[in-house]
Structure 1
Amino acid sequence: MRHHYGTTTLFFFITFLSLFSSKFASSLDTLTATQSLINGQTLISTSQGFELGFFTPGNSRNWYVGIWYKNIPRTYVWVANRDKPLSNSSGTFKIFNQSIALFDLAGKVVWSSNQTNARNPVMQLLDSGNLVLKEQVSESGQFLWQSFDYPTDTLLPDMKLGWDLNTGLDRYLSSWKSSEDPGTGDFSFKLEYHGFPEVFLWKDNEIEYRSGPWNGQRFSGVPEMKPVDYLSFNFITEQDEVYYSFHIATKNLYSRLTVTSSGLLQRFAWIPETQQWNKFWYAPKDQCDNYKECGAYGICDSNASPVCKCLKGFQPKNHQAWDLRDGSGGCVRKTNLECLKDKFLHMKNMKLPQSTTSFVDRSMSLKNCELLCSRNCSCTAYANSNISNGGSGCVIWTGELFDLRQYPEGGQDLYVRLAASDIGDGGSADTIIICIAVGIGILILSLTGFSIWKRKRLLSVCNGTQQKGPQERSQDLLLNEVVINKKDYSGEKSTDELELPLFDFSTIAAATGNFCDENKLGEGGFGCVHKGRLVEGQEVAVKRLSKKSGQGTEEFKNEVRLIARLQHRNLVRLLGCCIEMDEKILIYEFMENRSLDSVLFNKAKSSLLNWQRRFNIICGTARGLLYLHQDSRFRIIHRDLKASNILLDGEWTPKISDFGMARIFGGDQTQANTRRIVGTYGYMSPEYAMDGLFSVKSDVFSFGVLVLEIVCGEKNRGFYHSNSELNLLGNVWRQWKDGNGLEVLDISVGSSYSPSEVLRCIQVGLLCVQERAEDRPTMASAVLMLSSETASMPQPKTPGYCLGRSPFETDSSSSKQDESFTVNQVTVTVLDAR
């Protein structure tokens, strides 16, 4: 009996182990129909490159099944149940009904792949990172289902982005909602196969960016896209499929293309030596990457100012909007076409126009393409469809040309149809000479007449004989100063004048209801800001310089001079001005969400600024400041960057405003000194507040303060010797050193945030407010650190505490300003250097 009992026990134990091993997967790459995967267990590809299992991103309480790199800090490349998370970790992942399925604790199917006709299916994680469902024994090697057909936000090597035209399958990337929510976000990257195929970045139903069509070597709108020894690009256009992919030839080298939750396309490569992801391409990267930035027949050139210009033979459709640096209305022809008499303008280094409705013949020569286009009166342009080996194929456009861009190098040739007279080669040499002579004569007479009139006018002003009052003469002088020449700027010698629309005072008074209190948006030392509506219905913000203010005239002129020449999505647009009698008024685009300080420091409204909005405001402000320091035609130091000078539009996009205190640096100038120190307590760098030295690093300091204010939801009120706890920089620095960086996060943000992003912003902020200017990063470095999750950053040193009011001061010029509610305001803080 005892022997029989022992044999029975051993039998059941062996049976239990057999059942246990059949039910749960080991850490291999394959799962059979009798096995399942639970939390804590993973599938690992044969080469140890990829791993599949349960995970929860960041501080999220939801659980997902996904794929990530095995030997790289968690970088997720695919998520199964991205829009149907598990509320806890008790899920089961297995093969069910010839498909792959995820079950919750109650046994309910949360997510499943397409059902197949498999007889003996197995699930396998391949070395490519592709999760496949296939027959256990298959001679064809075909997959019944694969994750590569259903991407999330990442394109891996040999993964197809595009269409299977037989089944109608569209493989495209879509962003996560946030770093802690892999659900389908607002942005998607999709290939359009109609016409001349190209890829578009969408935000919901609006196009944000266009790659340009594939021209045999690269996308037309990505001139920097060049194959290297280990990385090659493929674009396949066949009857049954159209797709883009890339291939890595070197083993153990990782590269990925992602679309982020903020709407950026980014390509990364893993650098084993540094153990970091290196970002070596992204889009959109500048203003000209914005879709249809310059409208129909407009050319965008990021190296020009303004960036939009019309094609030769065209003129702006809306001259007023064009003068206000809004080129979205595009251009229209100056001369009507005459079909067979028309000629073609040869343009080089072009991003081809939007091509989804174009005609393509890949076997036609360029000469035959020109003949075909010239005989078709609807044809507006043509080009080679393939630029490899000298060029081949033909693509023809028959409608308006949209989203044109010109590069310093790269791009390709484009031939645009123009009236023969607009090409400029139809006249004789004698006719040209006569026209030039007549033109010079008219110019000389005009200049002579203007000189005589100007001299008489100045004499009449000086002698007091001109019939104008002192206010009118003052107005004329101010107008002469506002309508300035470029020669006033260091490094600029051309004399073309700045054109800024001038509004009548009666027009502005009518738009604002005669400046009634109901339309008042804010008030500062300069005067008031009112909301207005122009006759055509456009809403504007009207900044009116107070007649009683002893400040503001210089700031007024400075702002007009500067901001009218600048164009960036993160800078507020100046629409015009009014100078009439003693009225000095600036008209801006209207910002629906007013200024950052009116929301950030208002406890009743601060919850509107969730973490994603705060992070976007930080990054947008950084890009705007980088434009001022580096990418605009002039190096501009703002000198008064603060929360009240960051305006927010209806989409919460930040716009830097108030350039009354700004200064232009010319050539290689990096630093200047001033006796008149202007700005706001708490934002001024130590070297500026104490010694009057300002540079781009002064703005970097102000930006750092702003970043920490946005993270913490508190003002930095300067340094108080009696109570250093009131200093925001000191408090954040102390918490950072103690390893408690997240403790300073504004509680109104809530629980939905990315800890890594918050800590990254805090570290960038502390780096920007370091005491020594040379230790602070440039804005280019700050933008890079903010945009990259893997960028290495130095540890910050002690912050520079800007001296502010002592506890006993009560009459500082900033005492009221610091607490005022402001919109589009001119700062009135003026400190005299000691």
Structure 2
Amino acid sequence: MRTITNRHFCNFFLFFTFLAIFPTISISFDTLTATQSIQSNQTLVSQGDVFELGFFTLDRPGEWYVGIWYKNIPQKTYVWVANRDNPLSDSSGIFKVENRNLVLLDQEQNPVWSSNITTAGDNNPVAQLLDTGNLVLREANSENGGGTNHYLWQSFDYPTDTLLPDMKLGWDLNTGFNRFLTAWRSTGDPSTGDFSFKLDYHGFPEIFLWDKQRIDYRSGPWNGVRFSGVPEMKPLDYINFNFVTNQDEVYYSFSITNKNIFSRLMVTPTGDLQRLTWIPDTEQWNPFWYAPKDQCDNYRECGPYGICDNNASPVCKCPRGFSPRNQQAWNLRDGSGGCVRKTDLDCSKDKFLHLPNMKLPESTTSYVDRNMNIKDCEALCARNCSCTAFAYVDIRNGGKGCVIWTGELIDMRQYSSGGGQDLFVRLAASDLGDGGNTTALIVGITVGAGVLLLGLIAFVKEYSSESKSEELELPLFDFETLAAATDNFSDENKLGQGGFGSVYMGTLVEGQQIAVKRLSKNSGQGVEEFKNEVRLIARLQHRNLVRLVGCCVEMDEKMLIYEYMAHRSLDSVLFNKARSSMLTWQRRFNIICGIARGLLYLHQDSRFRIIHRDLKASNILLDRDLNPKISDFGMARIFGGDQTEMNTKRVVGTYGYMSPEYAMDGLFSTKSDVFSFGVLVLEVVSGKKNRGFYHSNSELNLLGHAWRLWKEGNGLELIDSAAGESYNANEVLRCIHVGLLCVQERAEDRPSMSTVVLMLNSEAATMAHPKTPGFCLGRNTLETDSSTSKQDESCTVNQVTVTMLDAR
């Protein structure tokens, strides 16, 4: 007896010693039987070591979840969460197979989550985690190769925010079951957020991005090769895109042919769609595609029959035979009212206008015949007097099938060559004339064009050497209109003042609020900045860039008219003790992400590669919802497509935001904007200015102070108390980490803005250790603290020599 007891004792001792050394262990490899369970220190691992399932917690105390993540990616990337809206209060839960269901129980054995299967069958099913990331419940005697038809339940039918290869996004028409993505509430909270990505199978199926009950973006219908609104969706060596529609189901999916590459589509908490790809050689998630990308991705941007073209200025156009419904709003670059026909239709005589490279109109109410040829389709549309347009269903092999619209054409967009597809719009024969195949579009803004050309003729000539084809297409305001709108530019309406002149709030006769930037007559540099701003911002369209609605050139007056931002500039809120409490942490994070998206657009996704050169808190404007918009492009510069760096003898910008290589050597690139962005991030987190802030016990500026706290592991001490106590600690630390990466001294060490956007929106993004920031200098004894906006503006340099900077 003593021998047996000792042996048992030794076995127990070894077992518990193993648990102490390896607190998290995998059990039964990839399968969980009815006699087994998983607790917080145990996981399931798929057969090929690709995915892992287990308990996890983020940064919200007392909230535990069961989820699935990639097994061998260094930073956990969660792809599915079981109890996303019902977390456990501690780590003592149990995950098991019970009564033909997968269940999650708390420490009191109360059910927290269940697979909720009610069908009868084998009383002894097993759960298995597959290498696809799919958690399935199947009969114990069925093999893995039995396929999805043999699954009693599968996690692929209940996605959270992520679509994995071979997952279906869409409908089972026999059961009415819909599979769709829903964003996390925040990067540290997996509960159901506001944004969802859902397929609508009606008419000509397409997928919509929803913000609660409002549509933000749509993919366009599938044309046999890609969604008509996603021109980047091209066949690749390692990824296949699939769209299935039949009487049983309608769904989108994708597959990966290279097992060494991981790819996933997700909806971020901030309402972006992102496709991310993990390539082992790079050891990081690389952004492959994202949407919404620009102003034309915004749903119904140009209203009924309006066409959005991001390569035009303004972006909204009316097709031939149409004119703006509201000319006054159209002149102010508000195209949401759309277009109306110039001539009533005559069913028996109407013709069709051919528009190539189009994102097809919203198609959920359209009629579809997948077997009809295009000639029969045109004949059918011609006979049906309610038909407003037609197109191919499938563009492959010369085109096949017929889709017909019978109502207003909504959310159209035109791409350059290689995107979209042919659309044929019904038009009165007199409007079409002999140009039956014309692709010309009529720009909606016509009022004041002649006066504008006369007023800016010198401007256009000066810039003709850069681009002879460039034209200024801005509504022209007369001086009297702007004087009346601003109460004769009264001090009560003044919003701010800088080296360029002053900005005034105004209200037009029709009630629209505007901001008028009036160039100072005594500003020698201001004329150049004015010209540059008109030339650049008139062609930039993004939800995080301020919208220019017109200009005034009359005698000695030069003015720019912008959309009015209710909360003015970021610095007027962030650095104002009376207003800074408006900026909760979630709002600050949204501001950081919005600025990042706007800057990414400038650097990568706009018609030109643009370096802002003066990114700072006072040049970030906030609308009524505190959404950020980058403004003031007077100092911006255009780069060529393959150009990466430029040198200037005229250094412009603001102390505290200027990168070392720019301030000292006049070298600027996208990475100098990245540096300024990093300063902004740290200012938004801390509520302190980089210039004028010094820690009471040191000679460090804000960058140096943040760097020291980070190295000491006390990064959270940087957060502004005005942001409130309800914040995501991991999110704050990630922002500080990103900020420090952006302000590194060497430009080549700083990330690109595409990488920045990825790091901000993904906890799984691999992030390097930051190196020493640039300009981590002690207090200059000749310098005084800057505490007011007036003092801060005095820091702006319109022309600084290198000698001056060296002396500093």
Q: TM-score, normalised by structure 2?
A: 0.83
Q: Of 769, 774, 787, which aligns to 2:743?
A: 769
Range 382-391 or range 370-379, more displaced:
382-391
* Residue 494 (1) aligns with residue 463 (2): no
What is the SS of the residue equivalent to 1:340? Answer: coil
Q: Of 408, 415, 420, which aligns to 2:424?
A: 415
Q: Displacement of 1:199 after TM fit?
A: 0.7
Q: Of 533, 547, 572, which aligns to 1:598?
A: 572
| Closer/same/farther in 2, CA of residues 665 and 487 from structure 1, 3 Å limit | farther
Higher alpha-carbon Rg: 1
* Residue 122 (1) aligns with residue 96 (2): no
Q: Displacement of 1:672 after TM fit?
A: 4.6
Q: Of 608, 617, 625, which aligns to 1:651?
A: 625
Q: Of 319, 335, 345, which aligns to 1:327?
A: 335
- After superposition, give the CA deviation of every residue in 1:300-324 in whole Å (9 maximum; x if it has no partner): 3333444333223323333343344
| Closer/same/farther in 2, CA of residues 666 and 32 from structure 1, 3 Å limit | closer
**What amino acid does structure 2 have at the position aligned with 1:643?**
A
Tell me if structure 2 keeps the 8 A contact 1:79–1:152: yes
Q: Of 171, 174, 191, which aligns to 2:199?
A: 191
**What amino acid does structure 2 have at the position aligned with 1:63?**
W
What is the SS of the residue equivalent to 1:339? Answer: coil
Identity %: 68
> In structure 1, how many angstroms separate the alpha carbons of the residues matched to 2:726 and 2:588?
12
Tell me if structure 2 keeps the 8 A contact 1:681–1:802: no
| 1:386-535 pair list within 5 angstroms | 386-407=394-415, 408-425=417-434, 480=455, 484-485=459-460, 488=463, 490-494=465-469, 496-505=471-480, 508-509=483-484, 515=490, 517=492, 521-522=495-496, 529-535=503-509
Tell me if structure 2 keeps the 8 A contact 1:486–1:494: no
What is the SS of the residue equivalent to 1:202? Answer: strand
Q: Displacement of 1:86 after TM fit?
A: 1.3
**Equivalent in the alignment of 2:37:** 36
> In structure 1, how many angstroms separate the alpha carbons of the residues matched to 2:283 and 2:637?
42
| Closer/same/farther in 2, CA of residues 377 and 65 from structure 1, 3 Å limit | same
Q: Displacement of 1:488 after TM fit?
A: 2.0
> In structure 2, how many angstroms separate the alpha carbons of the residues matched to 1:158 and 1:773?
40
What is the SS of the residue equivalent to 2:699? Answer: helix
**Equivalent in the alignment of 1:309:** 317
Q: Of 640, 644, 648, which aligns to 2:614?
A: 640
**Equivalent in the alignment of 1:461:** none
Tell me if structure 2 keeps the 8 A contact 1:720–1:807: no
Tell me if structure 1 keeps the 8 A contact 2:260–2:280: no
**What amino acid does structure 1 have at the position aligned with 2:597?**
R
Structure 2: segments with no counterpart, 5+ residues? 16-24, 437-449
> In structure 2, how many angstroms separate the alpha carbons of the residues matched to 1:748 and 1:719?
17
**Equivalent in the alignment of 2:774:** 800
> In structure 1, how many angstroms separate the alpha carbons of the residues matched to 2:778 and 2:634?
22
Structure 1: segments with no counterpart, 5+ residues? 18-23, 428-449, 455-475
Q: Of 213, 222, 226, which aligns to 2:221?
A: 213
| Closer/same/farther in 2, CA of residues 524 and 666 from structure 1, 3 Å limit | same
| 1:647-686 pair list within 5 angstroms | 647-662=621-636, 670-674=645-649, 678-686=652-660
Tell me if structure 1 keeps the 8 A contact 2:268–2:761: no
| 1:254-293 pair list within 5 angstroms | 254-293=262-301
**Equivalent in the alignment of 1:131:** 135
> In structure 2, how many angstroms separate the alpha carbons of the residues matched to 1:781 and 1:274?
12
Range 78-87 or range 748-757, more displaced:
748-757
**Equivalent in the alignment of 2:108:** 106
> In structure 1, how many angstroms separate the alpha carbons of the residues matched to 2:338 and 2:794?
34
Q: Displacement of 1:222 after TM fit?
A: 2.1
| Closer/same/farther in 2, CA of residues 94 and 336 from structure 1, 3 Å limit | same
**What amino acid does structure 2 have at the position aligned with 1:76?**
Y
Q: Of 169, 175, 180, which aligns to 1:172?
A: 180
Q: Displacement of 1:767 after TM fit?
A: 4.4
| Closer/same/farther in 2, CA of residues 535 and 275 from structure 1, 3 Å limit | same
**What amino acid does structure 1 have at the position aligned with 2:311?**
N
**Equivalent in the alignment of 1:470:** none
Q: Displacement of 1:579 after TM fit?
A: 6.6
**What amino acid does structure 2 have at the position aligned with 1:282?**
Y
- CA-atom RMSD, angstroms? 4.2
> In structure 2, how many angstroms separate the alpha carbons of the residues matched to 1:669 and 1:182?
39
> In structure 1, how many angstroms separate the alpha carbons of the residues matched to 2:616 and 2:391?
49
> In structure 1, how many angstroms separate the alpha carbons of the residues matched to 2:213 and 2:306?
23
| Closer/same/farther in 2, CA of residues 423 and 830 from structure 1, 3 Å limit | closer
**Equivalent in the alignment of 1:89:** 91
Tell me if structure 1 keeps the 8 A contact 2:283–2:766: no
**What amino acid does structure 1 have at the position aligned with 2:39?**
I
Range 483-492 or range 263-272, more displaced:
483-492
- After superposition, give the CA deviation of every residue in 1:269-307 in whole Å (9 maximum; x if it has no partner): 333444433332322233332222332223333334443
> In structure 2, how many angstroms separate the alpha carbons of the residues matched to 1:353 and 1:545?
42
> In structure 1, how many angstroms separate the alpha carbons of the residues matched to 2:156 and 2:794?
54
- After superposition, give the CA deviation of every residue in 1:164-185 in whole Å (9 maximum; x if it has no partner): 2232211100011111100111
> In structure 2, how many angstroms separate the alpha carbons of the residues matched to 1:580 and 1:305?
22
**Equivalent in the alignment of 2:445:** none
| Closer/same/farther in 2, CA of residues 545 and 426 from structure 1, 3 Å limit | closer
> In structure 1, how many angstroms separate the alpha carbons of the residues matched to 2:57 and 2:185?
14
Tell me if structure 2 keeps the 8 A contact 1:684–1:802: no
Q: TM-score, normalised by structure 1?
A: 0.81
- After superposition, give the CA deviation of every residue in 1:342-395 in whole Å (9 maximum; x if it has no partner): 222233332221110100111211111111011111111111212233322111
Tell me if structure 2 keeps the 8 A contact 1:689–1:802: no
- After superposition, give the CA deviation of every residue in 1:490-530 in whole Å (9 maximum; x if it has no partner): 5211374443331554665456698474x665556767655
Range 552-561 or range 542-551, more displaced:
542-551
What is the SS of the residue equivalent to 1:42? Answer: strand
| Closer/same/farther in 2, CA of residues 674 and 279 from structure 1, 3 Å limit | closer
> In structure 2, how many angstroms separate the alpha carbons of the residues matched to 1:802 and 1:253?
40
**Equivalent in the alignment of 2:444:** none
